[in-house]
Amino acid sequence: MNKKSSTAYLFECYIWLVNTIARGPISRADIDDKWARSSVNDYKKDSIPESTFHRWRETVQLLFDITIKCNTHGEYYIEEAASLRDTDMRTRMLNLMSVNSLLKDSKGLRDQILYEPVPSGDKFLSPIIEALRDRCAIMLTYQSFSKTQPTTFEVEPYCLKMFKQRWYMLALSTGIDEIRVYSLDRIHAIEPTSRKYKLPKGFDAELYFRNTYGVSGMECDPQLVEIRIEAYQANYLRTLPIHSSQEEIEKNDDYSVFRYNIVPTFEFMQELRKQGSTLEVLSPKWLRDEFTQEAVNLYGIYKG
């Protein structure tokens, strides 16, 4: 793949631009001066072409909802820069890619900083991002785990989401007029089209996934789920909540009780299962019964 079109390299450029402008209002000339001296600038060009600069601005807004504006003095700044401190998915992605950018400047530390890799699929980020930006449908060749052969069909991309080291695309499959989630590591090929489309009126990606953990169950209504977990293990949930609705409603020396307003999807239940015998599902009853039956099944497997 040509370096200039590399997804990883473009993301480095986006993060470099955000980090550079986030430090305070900065002129276009000063941006170019920093770019000329930046290690991200693999081609060692003295300036960022004007069309490229504005294309990066547009992509940064699309990907991270970060608006780069220009004031009356011709200086660029980030609107509502304080919002970058919010602990949402956007910030976590920014932090991850900022670390990657820092590692480029600190090559001697690469062997001392370890993080989880993202499996194959990232090569399709660029064409999907371009489709999102240009609002153009794409032809998707896709093979789910349940199919023996890939199929090709048209989709209208709505958003991208990362979950558990995998990238997912939410898109309208035009042939069946249905919104579905597609994992990028199951894509075989993408072909751009010139057909324009419009997002549904008022569509908000964050709100769309608000009641779920993972990438399923968006069409279902949330339920109140309560769990009891051992006191020590509760520390992990406090510092890294499973879901934004997480609320600690009881705490003592032995255990804590957490409540969620969430769709109990397969992904959410898998996250609860990870806690093993330190966690007990209290409600709803159907979910408690399901975990009870699983415990019986496990006992049957291991008792001999």
Instruction: Give residue 134's identity as a one-letter amino acid code.
Output: D
Per-residue confidence (pLDDT) for residue 19, from 0 to 100: 80
Per-residue confidence (pLDDT) for residue 190, from 0 to 100: 94
Per-residue confidence (pLDDT) for residue 174, from 0 to 100: 95
Per-residue confidence (pLDDT) for residue 1, from 0 to 100: 39
Structure-token match 């609107």, residue found: 79
Rg of the chain over CA atoms, in angstroms? 23
Opening angle at CA 27, ends 23 and 29, nearest 5: 120
What DSSP character marks residue 192?
E
Residue (of 225, 211, 232) closest to 272 by Cα position: 225
- The pLDDT tens digits of the residues spanning 86-142 come to 444 455 555 655 555 555 555 555 567 666 666 656 678 878 888 988 899 999 999
Per-residue confidence (pLDDT) for residue 67, from 0 to 100: 87
Q: Which of 33-42, 152-161, 260-269 has the lowest mean pLDDT?
A: 33-42
Would you place residue 23 in the very low, low, confident or very high pLDDT band (cuts 50, 70, 90)? confident
pTM of the model: 0.69
Whether the Cβ atoms of residue 61 and residue 68 lie closer than 8 Å to each other? yes
Structure-token match 């699309």, residue found: 62
* Token pair recorded at residue 91: 């910030």
Q: Which of 12-16, 26-30, 147-151, 289-293 has the lowest mean pLDDT?
A: 12-16
Q: Average pLDDT in the 183-195 region? A: 93
- SS3 of the chain: the string is CCHHHCHHHHHHHHHHHHHHHHCCCEEHHHHHHHHHHCCCCCCCCCCCCHHHHHHHHHHHHHHHCCCEEECCCCEEEECCHHHHHCCCHHHHHHHHHHHHHHHHHCHHHHHHCCCCCCCCCHHHHHHHHHHHHHCEEEEEEECCCCCCCCEEEEEEEEEEEEECCEEEEEEEECCCCEEEEEEHHHEEEEEEEEEECCCCCCCCHHHHCCCCCCCCCCCCCCEEEEEEEEHHHHHHHHHCCCCCCCEEEEECCCEEEEEEEECCCHHHHHHHHCCHHHEEEEECHHHHHHHHHHHHHHHHHHCC
- The pLDDT tens digits of the residues spanning 192-247 come to 999 999 999 999 988 999 999 999 989 899 999 999 999 999 999 999 999 999 99
Would you place residue 71 in the very low, low, confident or very high pLDDT band (cuts 50, 70, 90)? very high
The Cα–Cα gap between 175 and 288 comes to: 39
